[in-house]
Chain A
């Protein structure tokens, strides 16, 4: 009997139920208790027939949802299987090591078995949880169509005899097929949370930690591209260093990055310059601003740097006059307005990568002289520095600058090792052991909690599609 036959039998049973309902409806009995079954049977049969007809659609929807996980059921089976094998191998290695060491006179064997104690503690729970998850996944993977057809058949038996069982079976398969591919994500999520929570709790000495992001800006709103931002703790001397990205933002996000509460001095390193922001003294958390932009970084802290203009690509203009207005006329011409004392000497630095250079336009309202130029390298980026001394007859002169770039490419500095420099927390020898045990228990807990979520959802679906007392396949 193939599966199509099962579905046809189920549909025929629906037809039978329907006519049975009609028959009961027209019985010449004045008893309401019996005749009440008439409409119920008719309704049931139509509902069951509809459900069976759209069964392929339901399975399709289930597959569709599972496809978002990026795993197939076969891959999940492989994943759990690999985990079980890894557990076995670790167990064998541990036991064989202990066995060999116990041959040597002395207490080496017991010493090593002491070391492996945290692993053995969680081994059985891990294997049990993996095996249960594996069996469920295998069942859904290999018996999907058979069990769904069987469910449909049970569902369409007249007088609601198999309705609970049928609905429960269909729900189990549909939900299992949709949910089980998410198992690796769930395990990873729980293990990362446990692990980072533990690391955080032992590494921050009971100080609260904050995750934040912010934007580094110059005058006119331009951003540095690929800079470094340093947070120096003024009391403990810890230095936290983060990358300011291509978009001018720095992101101190969970789980591995954070700033502990405290007061900091902040500076920005860009193109070989150390730039001090206007608000370079910050107190965390007092100066943080709560935002909802990112889940893993609830706070925002922006920095702006005075008298400094950041231009694309990788050009900085700095001056000791007070720049108060910057307008970008075109891609190769900008004007600055500066506040200064007339006939006093000022200087301006133009720093760029070696693709670009800047000249002062002759229509500028200043007298100037190029005082010097230099070349250097900043973290792999060739940097050109030009110093210009100038003076003006006006107190608010307009300075026009022409840009010449042979390429608008941004040279990415090598900042790979510069992510963050936490003070190294004082780990004790027990911390890795505790973490190992936590991960072992966490893994089993992740699997069991996933299975119980799966149970709850399939029970609810069974109730939705018509089971009054839904049961699950592996319920005792």
Chain B
């Protein structure tokens, strides 16, 4: 097992754990939010959990896209700068 494989396996594991935790957090969030108790702070915490979970799920889903975008941008800058300097 090379270092790259190790990191990749680790990443994959973290992704699957993250999906699991998303469901968990989302459920807990709704549970707290919908609980028949009159404590507004508990309900607020539930609301926060749901929001965080949804945002994180969003980032999780577009993870590969984000990195593709970063590498595309970097490549674009590098290519255009270098070719500009070579020709000009």
Question: How far, in Å, is B58 (CB) from chain A's closest CB?
Answer: 9
A360 located at the interface, meaning its Cβ lies under 8 Å from any Cβ of chain B in the complex: no
How near does chain B come to A130, taking the closest CB pair, in angstroms?
Answer: 34
CB distance from B72 to the nearest CB of A (A): 9
Contact indicator B21/A53 (Cβ below 8 Å): no
Q: Does B10 belong to the interface (CB within 8 Å)?
A: yes
Q: Which of A5, A28, A38, A57 has the most CB of B within 10 A?
A: A28
Contact between chains at A19 and B29 (CB < 8 Å): no
Partner among A1, A8, A18 whose Cβ is within 8 Å of the Cβ of B63: A18
Interface of chain A residues 8 through 49 with chain B (CB within 8 A): 8-9, 12-16, 18-23, 25-28, 30, 35, 38, 42, 46, 49
B41 shortest CB reach to chain A, Å: 10
- Tell whether A56 is near chain B: CB-to-CB under 8 Å: yes
Q: What residues of A have a CB within 8 angstroms of the CB of B40 in the complex?
A: none
How does the 8 Å CB contact mask read for B10-45 relative to A, with 1 for contact and 0 for none? 110011011001101100110000000000000001
Report how many A-B pairs have Cβ atoms within 8 Å: 96
Q: Is A60 an interface residue (CB 8 A)?
A: yes
Q: Which residues of B sit under 8 angstroms from A370, Cβ to Cβ?
A: none
Query: In the bound complex, what is the Cα–Cα distance between A202 and B77 (angstroms)?
Result: 56
State the majority secondary structure of interface residues on A.
helix
Q: Which residues of B contact A92 (CB under 8 A)?
A: none
Instruction: Find residues 47-88 in chain B having any chain A CB closer than 8 Å to their own CB.
Output: 48-49, 52-53, 55-57, 59-60, 63, 66-67, 70-71, 73-75, 77-78, 81-82, 85
- Identify B74's interface contact among A13, A16, A18, A54, CB under 8 A: A54
Which single residue of chain B is at the shortest CB-CB distance from A14? B67
CB contacts (< 8 Å) of B8 on chain A: these are 12
Interface size on A, residues (CB 8 A): 32
Q: CA A26 – CA B10 in complex, angstroms?
A: 18
Is B1 positioned at the interface, with any CB of A under 8 Å from its CB?
no
Q: Chain A: which residue is nearest B13 at the CB level?
A: A19
How far apart are the CA atoms of A50 and B52 in the complex, in Å? Answer: 26
Rounded to whole Å, the gap between the CB of B54 and the closest CB of chain A is 9
Q: Give the contacting residue for B4; candidates A12, A21, A64; CB below 8 A.
A: A12
Does B63 lie within 8 Å of A26, measured CB to CB? no
Bound CA span A169–B6, Å: 25
Query: Is B56 in contact with A19, judged by CB distance below 8 angstroms?
Result: no
Given contacts A30-B48, A35-B52, A57-B82, contact A19 B7 (CB under 8 A): no
* Chain A, Cβ-Cβ closest to B29: A28
Given the complex of chains A and B, what is the CA–CA distance between A23 and B73 in angstroms?
A: 26
Contact A27 B67 (CB under 8 A): no
- Please give, as numbers and ranges, the residues of chain B lying within 8 Å of A60 by CB-CB distance: 78, 81-82
Asked if A56 meets B60 with Cβ closer than 8 Å, knowing A20-B14, A23-B14, A50-B73, the reply is no
Asked if A53 and B70 make an inter-chain contact with CB atoms under 8 angstroms apart, the answer reads yes
Instruction: With both chains docked as a complex, state the minimum distance between the C-beta of A162 and any C-beta of chain B, in angstroms.
Output: 15
Known: A30-B48, A35-B52. A25 touches B59 (CB 8 A): yes
Given contacts A9-B4, A16-B10, contact A22 B73 (CB under 8 A): no
**For residue B17, which residues in chain A have a CB less than 8 angstroms away from its CB?**
23
Query: Which residues A193-246 have CB closer than 8 A to chain B?
Result: none
- B56-A57 in contact (CB<8A): no
Q: List 18 A-B contacts (CB under 8 A).
A: A9-B3, A12-B7, A12-B8, A15-B63, A16-B7, A16-B14, A19-B14, A19-B18, A23-B17, A23-B56, A28-B21, A28-B29, A38-B56, A42-B59, A49-B70, A53-B71, A53-B73, A57-B74
Ranked 8 nearest A-B pairs via Cβ:
A53-B74, A26-B56, A28-B25, A25-B56, A57-B78, A12-B7, A23-B18, A19-B14
Interface residues in chain B, defined as those with a beta carbon under 8 Å from any beta carbon in chain A: 3-4, 7-8, 10-11, 14-15, 17-18, 21-22, 24-25, 28-29, 45, 48-49, 52-53, 55-57, 59-60, 63, 66-67, 70-71, 73-75, 77-78, 81-82, 85
Further 12 A-B residue pairs, CB within 8 A, beyond A12-B4, A53-B78: A8-B4, A13-B7, A16-B7, A16-B11, A18-B66, A19-B15, A26-B52, A30-B49, A42-B59, A54-B78, A57-B78, A60-B81
